[in-house]
Chains A and B, each alone.
Chain A
């Protein structure tokens, strides 16, 4: 009895020292075949979106400047940018993810109509910009003005929801590595998005993936770019801090 108790304490301490949960990338849960395909740029179709994004990035609108005219030296200006999103926009106080920032540049700086979430153009540009941070560690701000958003995202992640009454955490915490039909459940890091999913036959955003998980438990699907998913995205990014960006990844 006493021994058991002591053991219990010891184990609790080891857990605390290790900082609780250790998160690994979704790529670690792919079949070897899919992983090889992902890692080979000639076989990973998501690179078409990167190329298209690069093309849009340097395309000059009728009136106004191309993205590349403001972000001239790519390596310096946008490499690493994706590691810091979502972030609170200083001017408006709103939480912006990479898609939101690109749309803001498009409307305010380029004076062009927004592309719209999940449009081919916005996906291509987001995939391209995120790909410039490949291999760099996620590093979002979760304190200061970002803290209330982070806390809201965490609460969302941990509460049961939907008719099937499951939380994100039950699957992406407690059931990691287990089989849900043909899928192996990962930590839900999301560090490969926008990603090419075989099920979609194309590249989709992280919010599209979140909508799929919501539907899976028969819960409300929030709109693309909705505050609920933005806060959740910030929590996921903070939780995945230190993991490298893998965009453009492949997923089932």
Chain B
């Protein structure tokens, strides 16, 4: 198991990424993407909105977020409270971009990937679920959640 994981990480690191036409290239180092996508600068407040927005991130369908005022939060993924204390920005970025690089069976959707998907609805075809700016906004927000 541990060996398997290491192989996956190594492959990720060596091959780096083969992005679709519209995607910014990125490099995976161990279990992280250390550099911001397209050198964008994320904004915490916008990231928080995206997390809640049912049309965009809709993350709270599966995760318990940091805002207890939000009704009906999911309990499928790990709670996101204090996530910034557990993972650094680069680690969070890889988990958003494509968690299947760490766990092939993952339920966590790939938010910045267009290849290897099938039967994508026409409105979403050929586009990543979140843009590079939106990914960076969410990364900035989650990385700021350092307390429980």
Contact = CB atoms under 8 A, between A and B. Distances in A.
A219 B120 contact: yes
Interface residues of A, number: 22
Main secondary structure of the interface of B (DSSP, over half): loop
B38 to A, nearest CB: 20
Which of B110, B121, B124, B129 gathers most chain A CB within 10 Å? Answer: B121
B74 A220 contact: no
Give the dominant DSSP class at A's interface.
loop
A218 B124 contact: yes
Interface string A146-162: 00000000000001111
Contact of B117 (A162, A170, A214, A215): A162
Contact of A166 (B72, B73, B107, B113): B107
Contacts of A179: 73-76
Nearest to B127: A163
B60 interface: yes
Contacts of B117: 160-163, 165
Interface residues of B, number: 24
Scoring B100, B117, B129 by chain A CB atoms within 10 A of each residue's CB, the highest score goes to: B117
Interface in A160-208: 160-166, 170, 174-175, 178-182
A190 B122 CA distance: 27
A54 interface: no
Contacts of A182: 71-72
Nearest to B60: A181
A10 to B, nearest CB: 21
A221 B120 CA distance: 9
Contacts of A218: 120-121, 123-124, 129
A61 B75 CA distance: 53
Given A161-B120, A175-B76, A218-B123, 13 more contacts: A162-B121, A164-B129, A165-B109, A165-B113, A166-B109, A180-B62, A180-B76, A181-B72, A214-B121, A218-B121, A218-B124, A219-B119, A220-B121
Interface of B: 60-62, 71-76, 100, 107, 109-110, 113, 117-124, 127, 129
Which A-B residue pairs are the 3 nearest by beta carbons? A164-B109, A182-B72, A163-B124
